Structure 1
Amino acid sequence: MAVWIQAQQLQGDALHQMQSLYGQHFPIEVRHYLAQWIEGQLWDSVELENPQDELKAKRLLDSLVQELQRKAEHQVGEDGFLLKIKLGHYASQLKSTYDRCPLELVRCIKHILHSEQRLVQEANNAVGSGGGGGTMDSLSQRHQQINQTFEELRVSTQETENELRKLQHNQEYFIIQYQENLRIQAQLSSLSAVPAEERTQRETSLQAKRATVEAWLTREANTLQKYRLDLAEKHQKTLSQLRKQQTLILDEELIQWKRRQQLAGNGGPTEGGLDVLQSWCEKLADLIWQNRQQIRRAEHLTQQLPLPGPMEELLTKLNSDITDIISALVTSTFIIEKQPPQVLKTQTKFAATVRLLVGGKLNVHMNPPQVKAVIVSEQQAKALLKNESTRNDSSGEILNNNCVMEYHRTTGTLSAHFRNMSLKRIKRSDRRGAESVTEEKFTVMFESQFSVGGNELVFHVKTLSLPVVVIVHGSQDNNATATVLWDNAFAEPGRVPFVVPDKVLWPQLCEALDMKYKAEMHSARGLCDDNLVFLAQKAFSSASINQEDYRNMTMSWAQFNRESLPGRNFTFWQWFDGVMELMKKHLKPHWNDGAILGFVNKQQAQDMLMSKPNGTFLLRFSDSEIGGITIAWVAENPNKAGERLVWNLMPYTTKDFSIRSLADRISDLNHLMFLYPDRPKDEVFSKYYTPPLSKAVDGYVKPQIKQVVPEFTTPNPEPSSGNPTYMDQAPSPSVAHPINFAIFPPISDPMMDADGEFDLEDTMDVARHVEELLRRPMANQWDGQQS
């Protein structure tokens, strides 16, 4: 209900825009009386392009109708009686309107709520930061300028309409007088049959009358010519203003929206404002079409009554100019509302949505056009933008690549939803130098053809998606994502497809990494300055880099994701992406709680922990393993009294956390007591502990996995009191320690490799090996129990 309360405070044009959202399709009274209920429903959980969600939409429709009927029943008194009738009528109306198409109701309400939120946000932004002053920010000022220009264009268009009607009226009167002059001439010609005396008298009268009419026609012809020239001049001014307004909207506002859409691919804010752009483009289309019709009518008047002068050439030029303006508007507003995935795997279903922002205003939906999607290479995309022929070649085959545009009356949008496309095959070009397949860029091209004005104008429109990288296996996803991230972050408007700089400033890359990281974590907690210093030291392989040093340093694409880090078999990006993948799948809440420092190297961890009490620990990302996180803690050296050491546990990976969570692992290790700097571990992690196992069911006791670090578990001489633990007599703080999950002591087994897997290549006599195992004592684990 908070949005509706604020929406009612809107003023001026914003209030008018809000009111225009409502009508017979959804009465504003329903929004008002069910405000709290409406804002409490999960409208965004319904996917409009998914037919399977129609049942969800139907339930929402039924609930809405029930709420309206309940609200109506509770109305009492004289005023309540009228409201009861009205709300009951609205309940029946909505039921009959949307019962067969409940998804349209969801589409309508989502459009209303998003538009209200935008209007409220713009109104809030319009308030200056100086304690509620009236200073407008730059965005609001620009929008105000656009709206003001539209009002000026509306007035000038109405003026030319009035002038055109005046010209038409004067021209019609001129033609009448011209016909009168012809009638007088005909009468003069017929005087030869009249007697001389009468002929002279009538001839004198007719000649005088003819002279008067001809003098009036001469003056009126000059007046008409002046009207025509003045009208043409006003049209020229209007067209010039229309062109400037269109340039502002298409070359600035729409380009900025597309840029926000591209950054959203890296995790930037979701691109809003498309409905505002559509309303502007529709106003442009309306004004352009009105002026075009006026110019066409002026041409008709000129042809109806030719007069000497440059009018015909002027109107031809005006007609050509305004046709160019509307062509630019239509072709530029054929946009991709929902981009296809930028990492596109073959044989995998994907979706996309294209939209014609002026389709509803130009009535294109009266003959719904069909849209076709094809995938083209970078070279083909360059040729297309240069209007060079590509012989309609594509670089692959997309299944289900044809779709008819649909008009949604409640939102006024004309769009095509491709729901089940699939890339069947891809044809790759010859790669350049060290370029890999995951650096090769393609684009999905959408094209259509339609007419407006009764086939008066025919448009062939095309639009290209953001660059996509095609993969055939999930193992390529990591490197493909790097290509996409670099392109999204550093592409410039109007570039040649798909040129990006080979080197960028490190702070620019930090901004892109921070944006991506926050998006993956779904958190406002991104990468702080200390994190970025750590990343710079890793990226440039220098421990001496500080925050000031890297501000002017540059990083190349090769350093980012082509060349391996020194002493490693992975690149900087592969390491960073591994961290994000681990955090996203298993550790997101701990990062958002501030429990994970993460970006700390081993030496830094040692320096930080040595000043803290024993049992203090921190969590940092592994330097040597992709997607690994380790625990470092400070404790006494069991081999040397009075000596304190910092220990590092063998890194955990996604595989480990799929067995037992981080919180439970920390709970298992009693020697870990305080999360750096001094927070008791239970205070931080207890809300994530797995609840204790239930009691035995049907005579069975459920087993439980627990983590044990032998070196830091107190030896227990009584086997019957619990699981046995063993102390390593020669611990090394610089070596990561194995973790035991079994209840039995570790067994040295020549059949197992270092990772605990059977080494089939070095297999001994398996039968003899099993026999040897069976003869081993079981360390009294079962205390005489019989199997």
Structure 2
Amino acid sequence: MAKWEILQGLDRPFQERLHELYSKSLLPMDVRKHLASWIEDQNWYQAAMDPDTSHAYLLFHRLLDQLASQYNNYSQESDLLLQHNLRKFCRDIQALYQDKPNQLAGLFYDLLLEEKNIMSQAQRTQQSFFQDHVDPEVPMKTRQQQEIETRIQELKDMMQKLIKDVYNLSDLQDVFSFRFKTQNPSAPNQARQQQLLQETLNDLDRKRKEVLDASRTLLGQCSTLSTLLLQELDEWKEQQQKACIGAPAHRGVDQLESWFTDGAKILFQLKQQLQKLEDLSNEVSYENDPLKTKLPLQGLLELLQLLLQRAFIVESQPQMVLPVNRPLVLKTGNKFSVQTRLLVRLQDANEPLTVHISIDKHTPQIKGFRTFNILPSERKTLTPEKGRSQGLIWDFRCLTVKEQKTSVSGKGSSEGLPIVTEELHIFNFTVQYSYQGLKLDLKTNSLPVVIISNMNQLSNAWAAILWFNLLSSDPQNQKFFSKPPKAPWTVLGPALSWQFFSCTDRGLDQEQLNMLKKKLFGKEHKKESQLLLSWITFSKQDSPPGKQPFWTWFDKILDLVHTHLKEIWKDGHIKGFVTRAQALRLLEKKLPGTFLLRFSETSQEGGITCSWVEHQDDDKVVLQSVEPYTKEILQLVPITEIIRHYQLLAEENVPENPLCFLYPGIPRDEAFGPYYREKDDFMNHRKYLRRELIVVSNRQVDEVQSPCQSLEPEVPDLNLEPHLGWEQEPELPFDLQEIGDDLLTLKVNDIEALNNDILTRDAILLRDDPVLPILTPGDEGPTSVSHFMEGTATFDLPNY
């Protein structure tokens, strides 16, 4: 489609600008319309700017031919206005530009440039409209991406024209060869033959220069396109590197593959045309033949090699075949996968392509650096059939790495040897690529990986991967941890948020990030860009209040959220990274019973606690906090059920739930109701009642709670071995109190005694599911637990 047709489809304001442009121009608009394709195909810029006016004269005379042809076509029709404009424009340019054809070329160039500006402004206006009205989830093309697509289409059009011109040049050369071979020196018209032969040679020389100029222009445009494509590829690689450490998923490479393939096709077509021109020059040559010295074949091959080399990428970085979403950390003996791809989807029909994989091809000079073998195979072959159907993709699956044993022992602990989790390894890939006679060795590398031997090293290995991919300026620097740089908070903060986003689809808000910043840097008054954290402080140095490295504490909380708290974290019900003092400030002006969920700063295993506000009789506001719940507890009872059934013993041991409103003031059941377990339908035919575990804290009436004091529920660690054949009933460390016909309350007098004492007929297995009561001789039937709490357990007695 000619650009003129696109201009005719623009909105009315841009149509008016177009009419205004041609109302002031020598070129009538209807003449522009009928010569649209021819005008847009010419290189007016070169004709206007070249000091040599030969190209401008050529375009001038061709324009006269086009005008004459159009006039003759319409002479028999009734479009008198068009005939008039054609004839008048022809007379005008002959009168004005007969001796100044370069000025006429400048006129056309300026008109086309202004048309391009109008079209670009219309596209920007349309894009702005779509951004305001389309689904925000649908990504818009960037200006550079639009430019790439526009340039590809222009290059395709230029290539079609070049192919046609080379074909015409070949015909003209055949005419010259025929006239040269058939000339007769003794013929009476020999002078006329010599003149005609010279004119043909002049036409041939001029046509060769035109085709050569067109090919060089096309190569220059291809070079610009290649630069744009490589910029897009570099941006994709940067996004991939961040995505590996948890950033939002980067876009795929299908669009890049389409662009790279189109660009490479144009270059291969240009290579064919240049070779044809070289063949024509070998058949017919003369003094100062431009095809002998000015063919840009070497520059073309260099550009093609660069594009193909960069187009060979690692599409999916090495990752273990595990549900843990932590790529670039591999364990010896565990299977992993990695995928490479050639973005230029061009393959000879009978040429399979084989990719070879190796590890640490250029081993860094580091003492004690481990070496590995790749099992079971180090190659993968892609047949042309698979290449056509799926693309040039080599998917390595079920690979493993095995360490080569050396005399060095005590890896990671001996002085001078690198730590396992700070040792970086790189996978190398090579493929021998051939297409249309061009043969190249293409190479690419993975990002550095950390290879561990035990899964308890996974957390520290991931910290190393995180640090490297955030801060390394060289993605192949295997000596990075010999002197790791410090991390600015402006870089580290978003990366910590990515860790939560990658496993829960919700990152950290600004308040949570500020708490982490204060934990790492204290009350610093520096600008965020000046806050720098060392690798040792981040991953190795113990810090209060939990006396463990920051990353260890953070990663255990991340695991707790991913395993047990994912849904309520995603819905924003967990305040999270809030200190006790911050929690008091947030809650002190809220209604009594307002609570929030925050992560423990001291729990060694990663924990979450409930903190709520109470107003004393003396108007004193205090904060109550339950001892943190860890994975061990949450795998028995979900946090939502703990909140739902939590009990605090007040005067006369009357239980009440102090958790009434989720901060800032959402009723508890409104916030957590969607997560509550559905109640079982207790039918009469059920033999046993279903148990429920709840948490209860016991408050001493004569003690006043101070702010931030913990209420610590104790879970008795009951001995689960049955003891049979007792001669007499042992003294019990608890009392049984009857509540109703079917309920008994077990009141613990001495928890320590209960923990250490033998089991009685009232003890029961609490930690396994389903619950199996422990019986002694003479028991009439089992009991099942319905509630369990610190100090009190209520038993349901089934009816028999």
Band the TM-score falls in, shorter-chain normalisation: 0.5 to 0.7
Partner Cα distance (1:471, 1:536) in 2: 30
Against the structure 1 CA distance between its residues 477 and 654, is the aligned structure 2 distance closer, same or farther, given a 3 Å change threshold?
same
Partner Cα distance (2:243, 2:130) in 1: 27
Q: 2:635 aligned with 1:658, yes or no?
A: yes
Partner Cα distance (1:249, 1:436) in 2: 39
Among 604, 617, 632, the residue aligned to 2:611: 632
Residue 560 of structure 1 contacts residue 571 of structure 1 at CA under 8 Å; is this kept in 2? yes
The one-letter code of the counterpart of 1:179 is: K
* Structure 1: gaps spanning 5 or more residues: 1-10, 13-121, 186-205, 384-392, 713-725, 753-768
Q: 1:630: how far off?
A: 1.2
Q: 1:489: how far off?
A: 3.1
Q: 1:736: how far off?
A: 4.9
What residue in structure 1 maps to residue 498 of structure 2? Answer: 515
Among 680, 683, 690, the residue aligned to 2:670: 683
What residue in structure 1 maps to residue 543 of structure 2? Answer: 565
Against the structure 1 CA distance between its residues 426 and 634, is the aligned structure 2 distance closer, same or farther, given a 3 Å change threshold?
farther
- The within-5 A match list for 1:438-457 is 438-453=421-436, 456-457=437-438
Among 467, 470, 479, the residue aligned to 1:489: 470
Q: 1:447: how far off?
A: 1.8
Against the structure 1 CA distance between its residues 643 and 142, is the aligned structure 2 distance closer, same or farther, given a 3 Å change threshold?
closer
What residue in structure 2 maps to residue 45 of structure 1? Answer: none
The one-letter code of the counterpart of 2:153 is: E
The one-letter code of the counterpart of 2:374 is: E
Residue 373 of structure 1 contacts residue 398 of structure 1 at CA under 8 Å; is this kept in 2? no
Partner Cα distance (1:125, 1:736) in 2: 62
What residue in structure 1 maps to residue 155 of structure 2? Answer: 153
What residue in structure 2 maps to residue 503 of structure 1? Answer: 486
TM-score normalized with structure 2 length: 0.65
Which of the two has greater helix per residue? 1
The one-letter code of the counterpart of 1:371 is: V
> What secondary structure sits across from 2:234 in the alignment?
helix
Residue 396 of structure 1 contacts residue 427 of structure 1 at CA under 8 Å; is this kept in 2? no
Q: 1:600: how far off?
A: 0.8
What residue in structure 2 maps to residue 716 of structure 1? Answer: none
> What secondary structure sits across from 1:339 in the alignment?
strand
Among 344, 349, 369, the residue aligned to 2:353: 369
Among 439, 443, 467, the residue aligned to 2:448: 467
Among 152, 155, 167, the residue aligned to 1:165: 167
What residue in structure 2 maps to residue 244 of structure 1? Answer: 224
Residue 614 of structure 2 contacts residue 622 of structure 2 at CA under 8 Å; is this kept in 1? yes
Among 745, 753, 758, the residue aligned to 1:773: 758
1:356-395 superposed Cα distances (whole Å, 9 cap, x missing partner) = 2222xx3345422122222227x54899xxxxxxxxx974
What residue in structure 1 maps to residue 784 of structure 2? Answer: none
Partner Cα distance (2:425, 2:548) in 1: 26
Partner Cα distance (1:704, 1:400) in 2: 54
Residue 536 of structure 1 contacts residue 545 of structure 1 at CA under 8 Å; is this kept in 2? no
Partner Cα distance (1:746, 1:349) in 2: 54
Among 592, 617, 620, the residue aligned to 2:598: 620
Among 174, 178, 187, the residue aligned to 1:176: 178
Against the structure 1 CA distance between its residues 426 and 633, is the aligned structure 2 distance closer, same or farther, given a 3 Å change threshold?
farther
Residue 255 of structure 1 contacts residue 493 of structure 1 at CA under 8 Å; is this kept in 2? no
> What secondary structure sits across from 1:591 in the alignment?
helix
For this pair of structures, how many residues does the alignment match? 589
Against the structure 1 CA distance between its residues 550 and 697, is the aligned structure 2 distance closer, same or farther, given a 3 Å change threshold?
farther
Residue 448 of structure 2 contacts residue 476 of structure 2 at CA under 8 Å; is this kept in 1? no
What residue in structure 2 maps to residue 593 of structure 1? Answer: 571
> What secondary structure sits across from 2:228 in the alignment?
helix
Residue 344 of structure 1 contacts residue 469 of structure 1 at CA under 8 Å; is this kept in 2? yes
1:118-160 superposed Cα distances (whole Å, 9 cap, x missing partner) = xxxx999934478669xxx994422222222223322322332
Among 558, 578, 581, the residue aligned to 2:556: 578
Q: Is the deviation greater in 221-230 or in 653-662?
A: 221-230
1:518-539 superposed Cα distances (whole Å, 9 cap, x missing partner) = 222123xx32221111001111
Q: 1:649: how far off?
A: 1.5
The one-letter code of the counterpart of 1:224 is: L
- The within-5 A match list for 1:371-410 is 371-376=355-360, 380=363, 395-405=372-382, 407=385
Q: 1:233: how far off?
A: 2.8
Q: 1:352: how far off?
A: 2.4
Q: 1:746: how far off?
A: 7.3
1:455-490 superposed Cα distances (whole Å, 9 cap, x missing partner) = x11121121122221122211111111222233334
Residue 447 of structure 1 contacts residue 461 of structure 1 at CA under 8 Å; is this kept in 2? yes
Q: 2:323 aligned with 1:343, yes or no?
A: no
What residue in structure 2 maps to residue 18 of structure 1? Answer: none
Among 523, 526, 530, the residue aligned to 2:511: 530
The one-letter code of the counterpart of 1:282 is: T
Partner Cα distance (1:257, 1:584) in 2: 28
Among 283, 286, 294, the residue aligned to 1:304: 283
TM-score normalized with structure 1 length: 0.66
Q: 2:690 aligned with 1:711, yes or no?
A: no
Among 657, 660, 666, the residue aligned to 1:673: 660
Q: 1:310: how far off?
A: 5.5
Residue 330 of structure 2 contacts residue 449 of structure 2 at CA under 8 Å; is this kept in 1? yes
Residue 155 of structure 2 contacts residue 266 of structure 2 at CA under 8 Å; is this kept in 1? yes
The one-letter code of the counterpart of 1:414 is: L
Against the structure 1 CA distance between its residues 410 and 365, is the aligned structure 2 distance closer, same or farther, given a 3 Å change threshold?
closer
> What secondary structure sits across from 2:556 in the alignment?
helix
What residue in structure 2 maps to residue 478 of structure 1? Answer: 459
1:436-463 superposed Cα distances (whole Å, 9 cap, x missing partner) = 321222222222113111xx11121121
What residue in structure 1 maps to residue 215 of structure 2? Answer: 235
- The within-5 A match list for 1:32-431 is 126-128=127-129, 139-181=141-183, 184=184, 206=186, 208-250=188-230, 252-309=231-288, 311=290, 313-314=292-293, 318-341=296-319, 342-359=328-345, 362-364=346-348, 366-376=350-360, 380=363, 395-405=372-382, 407=385, 413-425=391-403
Partner Cα distance (1:709, 1:422) in 2: 50
Residue 399 of structure 1 contacts residue 424 of structure 1 at CA under 8 Å; is this kept in 2? no
Q: Which entry has the higher C-alpha Rg, 1 or 2?
A: 2
Against the structure 1 CA distance between its residues 507 and 166, is the aligned structure 2 distance closer, same or farther, given a 3 Å change threshold?
same
The one-letter code of the counterpart of 2:352 is: P
Against the structure 1 CA distance between its residues 580 and 434, is the aligned structure 2 distance closer, same or farther, given a 3 Å change threshold?
farther
Q: Is the deviation greater in 729-738 or in 287-296?
A: 729-738
* Structure 2: gaps spanning 5 or more residues: 1-7, 10-122, 320-327, 647-656, 719-745, 765-773, 782-800
Residue 125 of structure 1 contacts residue 140 of structure 1 at CA under 8 Å; is this kept in 2? no
Against the structure 1 CA distance between its residues 300 and 746, is the aligned structure 2 distance closer, same or farther, given a 3 Å change threshold?
farther
The one-letter code of the counterpart of 2:337 is: A
Residue 398 of structure 1 contacts residue 425 of structure 1 at CA under 8 Å; is this kept in 2? no
Partner Cα distance (1:125, 1:554) in 2: 44
What residue in structure 2 maps to residue 556 of structure 1? Answer: 534
Q: 1:403: how far off?
A: 1.9
Against the structure 1 CA distance between its residues 124 and 527, is the aligned structure 2 distance closer, same or farther, given a 3 Å change threshold?
farther
Q: 1:583: how far off?
A: 0.9
1:331-360 superposed Cα distances (whole Å, 9 cap, x missing partner) = 22122222222111221222222222222x
The one-letter code of the counterpart of 1:675 is: L
Residue 126 of structure 1 contacts residue 140 of structure 1 at CA under 8 Å; is this kept in 2? no
The one-letter code of the counterpart of 1:473 is: N
* Aligned-residue RMSD, C-alpha: 4.1
The one-letter code of the counterpart of 1:649 is: V
The one-letter code of the counterpart of 1:335 is: I
The one-letter code of the counterpart of 1:337 is: E
Residue 373 of structure 1 contacts residue 446 of structure 1 at CA under 8 Å; is this kept in 2? yes
> What secondary structure sits across from 1:340 in the alignment?
strand
Q: 2:712 aligned with 1:737, yes or no?
A: yes
Against the structure 1 CA distance between its residues 458 and 643, is the aligned structure 2 distance closer, same or farther, given a 3 Å change threshold?
same
Q: 1:411: how far off?
A: 6.3
